[in-house]
A and B are shown apart, each in its own frame.
Chain A
């Protein structure tokens, strides 16, 4: 029987000196970590957890930055049989009070028994704790048992079974933190097994290069768990460094002969537009065989911009790939562009928008080109359904539903929303799309969720924050996403009804809204639009209609 701990034990015993991870940090030498050092570090954490009385099956929340402590703590929790969950670290922009409130809300639902953080962050975490909550221990990274040889005989992780939950995956923001996706050993290992085969992974040739955050499924599964368990060397940059110096990703691919990366769509535009030639001297991208676009709407234009910018540096067009993924399925649902270029479907625009059908383009009428997300990976079935759950024929737009051997065990401690997510055993994704034979095309979203740079943003969280500004009233503010073609991602737009006509006063209010939202969510508003009273459209029940207001904004204010 295989669990995470059994696989780690195998690598530790068979190939201890193999480097599993190269950590790249600005102004520091690259730091290679072998399986021996990873497992020894993790064993120190496991010992600390055990001595503190943490029980297998209990949740441990990790509040650590990208780095060795996070890696050790994560696998230490697993070796001990506890369930790790990574919470994003506080950034300088986020208001500590807001962070505390989010943490308290995570704790109240997930009920972790311990939290791991740094000494300098201890006070912050303590202030979010309540005497009656579940947290019994606060572990500080500087006070953990020293790395030691793991004694697998006594490690509680070795006694976990395949259907036990191995990890929790949260998305960000107040709403996301209240919804932890619980995944079993079996589910994750099924995913890695089939996904590894689809990608044709080869431990002697492949190298994964990533800058993605580990609290996101794409970063955690594809660019952390998968490489470490499947023995594919991983080169890891921090998202903080990458956003300021995107060229580091390409330099790392060149230096380490990287073969695979996963990127949200905006990163293609970002890299293409913001990297100067002087940062590309000597860079060779010819080893890159799969650059996988995933986690937000994908655009052919983004692929083209990226390819044109870097083709002179050895980039192959066939390397551009696509994937449709979600934490609820561990990660990948479909994968495209591995054995040949990504399939592009040109369809009539009007039929898509008005009739919800993906028809062939018609002469003289506008068409759009969509990137296929590929075919479902083995073990995953996908169907397109109508509102009643009936399967729709090819090319009809409906909700994407899936059934697989790697589904979530449930939303942790949330049987209410777990039940709602399924229909006859099929998971309803909330995404719209259509099928053409085995190829899946994603066309939109049922829910109001906004995805910015691959990160989920719940508009209700942002609206709630804006209402903290004294001049912004409940029911008079709306938030939605608008695609920004230049950036290849969505812009977050906020519209608020404000009484005053005074320009200076309006500037002050709009600044205050931006500030309050950024400090409360770490999300930057791309546009704040102040309108007069009665501008916003409401539903018959008096609620703000996000979609209708988005359409009105696009028609009247753009």
Chain B
């Protein structure tokens, strides 16, 4: 279910990236282009997605044009799994 993926991603980003465990993140909010996720954390996100969902995101895809929101990333995960 896409919504489950979204919840897991939002939780991961709030806790591990932003260090704000209680933070709600809108699935439509820009993550990369807004600077919410910086380049140091991009690879962590890719590794998390790989471990959690078994979906590989190539390093050349780690930019805002591949995905910029939780919604887009969830679609990508669903399409590839």
Contacts and interface: CB of A to CB of B under 8 A. Distances in A.
A511 B36 contact: yes
A527 B20 CA distance: 8
Interface string B27-49: 00100111111111111100100
Interface in A442-462: 453
Given A517-B35, A518-B34, A270 B23 contact: no
B64 A92 contact: yes
A446 B24 CA distance: 39
B19 A244 contact: no
B23 to A, nearest CB: 7
A526 B35 contact: no
Contact of A245 (B19, B37, B59, B64): B59
B60 interface: yes
Contacts of B47: 274, 276
Interface string A520-558: 000010110000000000000000000000000000000
B62 interface: yes
Interface in A492-536: 507, 510-511, 514-515, 517-519, 524, 526-527
B43 A93 contact: no
B67 to A, nearest CB: 14
A515 B34 contact: yes
B48 to A, nearest CB: 11
Contacts of B59: 26, 241, 244-245
Nearest to A274: B43
B40 A244 contact: no
Interface in A3-48: 26-27
Contact of A518 (B38, B40, B43, B64): B38
Interface string A245-270: 11000000000000000000000001
A453 B40 contact: yes
A104 interface: no
Contacts of A243: 39-40, 42-43
Given A26-B59, A518-B34, A244 B64 contact: no
B23 A507 contact: yes
A244 B62 contact: yes
Contacts of B38: 518, 524
Contacts of A518: 34-36, 38
In this complex, which of A244, A274, A519, A527 has the most chain B Cβ atoms within 10 angstroms of its Cβ? A244
Contacts of B41: 524
A101 interface: no
Instruction: Please classify how large the interface on chain A is, using the bins under 10, 10 to 19, 20 to 34, 35 or more.
Output: 20 to 34
Contacts, number: 57
A244 B35 contact: no
A487 interface: yes
Contact of A524 (B20, B35, B43, B62): B35
> Per DSSP, are chain B's interface residues mostly helix, strand or loop, or mixed?
loop
B27 to A, nearest CB: 15
A511 B37 CA distance: 11
A241 B47 CA distance: 16
A276 B59 CA distance: 13
Interface in B48-75: 59-60, 62-64
Nearest to A94: B35
Contacts of B35: 93, 514-515, 517-519, 524
A126 B77 CA distance: 42
A244 B20 CA distance: 24
A523 to B, nearest CB: 8
A526 to B, nearest CB: 7
A92 B35 CA distance: 10
B43 A487 contact: no
Contacts of B23: 507
Contacts of B36: 511, 514-515, 518
A453 B38 CA distance: 12
Contacts of A514: 34-36
Interface string A331-371: 00000000000000000000000000000000000000000
A246 B42 CA distance: 12
B34 A524 contact: no
A28 to B, nearest CB: 11
A238 to B, nearest CB: 12
A246 B43 contact: yes
In this complex, which of B23, B42, B43, B62 has the most chain A Cβ atoms within 10 angstroms of its Cβ? B43
A358 B43 CA distance: 39
A526 B33 contact: no
Given A27-B60, A245-B59, A524-B38, A92 B43 contact: no
A518 B39 CA distance: 11
Nearest to A91: B39
A27 B60 CA distance: 8
Given A511-B36, A519-B34, 7 more contacts: A243-B42, A244-B43, A245-B43, A276-B47, A507-B23, A515-B35, A527-B19
**Closest A-B pairs by Cβ, 3 of them:** A518-B35, A524-B38, A245-B59
Interface of B: 19-20, 23-24, 29, 32-44, 47, 59-60, 62-64
18 contacts: A26-B59, A93-B32, A93-B33, A243-B42, A244-B42, A244-B62, A274-B43, A453-B40, A487-B40, A507-B23, A514-B35, A514-B36, A515-B36, A517-B35, A518-B34, A518-B35, A524-B38, A527-B19
